[in-house]
Amino acid sequence: MIKVGDAAPSFDMKDQRGERVHLADLLLAGEVVLYFYPSDFTPVCTAEACAFRDNYDGIAELGAQIVGVSPQSSSSHERFTARYDIPFPLLADTDKRLIRAYGVDGPFGIGVRRVTFLIGRDGVVRKRTIADFSVSGHLELLKSVL
């Protein structure tokens, strides 16, 4: 798993609207909060996305970005963002390439761990939170940006 001080693996993927999202482009504007989650529409994942949504305006005012990643399809992410008014990109990592690059796949490659990274403008991981069944540590990382 990628640690604090490591270079964040780059990515160029499509979000729920089919738009390309490049890590390098995001970093031009500011820090990136990149979070990995197991699945759309599950209770903890929904709570996490909604907590990030509720803090989105403050993060955006600082020039920082929030990006979510899970192995569901773009169409699942599109329904999820529509239902919960999620204003940030959700990347469909259906082949788990990015999930593996960050080392956040579950034991024996099954599932996805709930991990949030704060990536500095220089592309280096500044903070990391791992909490598979709780949102509070992830929200604390987000609030530390504010």
Residue tagged active-site, from 23, 32, 45, 64: 45
Residue count of the chain:
146
Dihedral (C-alpha) 131, 41, 38, 117: value to the nearest 10 degrees? -60
- Lowest-confidence pick of 57-61, 81-85, 97-101, 122-126: 57-61
Buried b (16+ CB within 10 A) or exposed e, 63-92: ebbbbbbbbbebebbbebbeeeebebbbbb
Residue 132 confidence (pLDDT) above 80: no
pLDDT category at 36 given cuts 50, 70, 90 is: very high
Residues 112-119: what's their mean pLDDT? 95
Residue 143 confidence (pLDDT) above 90: no
Give the mean pLDDT of the chain. Answer: 92
Taken in order of first residue, the domains within the chain and their CATH numbers are 12-145 (3.40.30.10)
15: left (phi over 0), alpha (psi -120 to 50) or beta: beta
| pLDDT at residue 112, as a whole number | 93
45 carries an active-site annotation? yes
pLDDT by residue (tens digit) across 76-112? 999 999 999 999 999 999 999 999 999 999 887 788 9
| pLDDT at residue 10, as a whole number | 96
| pLDDT at residue 146, as a whole number | 61
> Around Cβ 2, how many Cβ atoms within 10 Å?
18
CB half-sphere exposure, 99, CA atoms < 13 A: 25
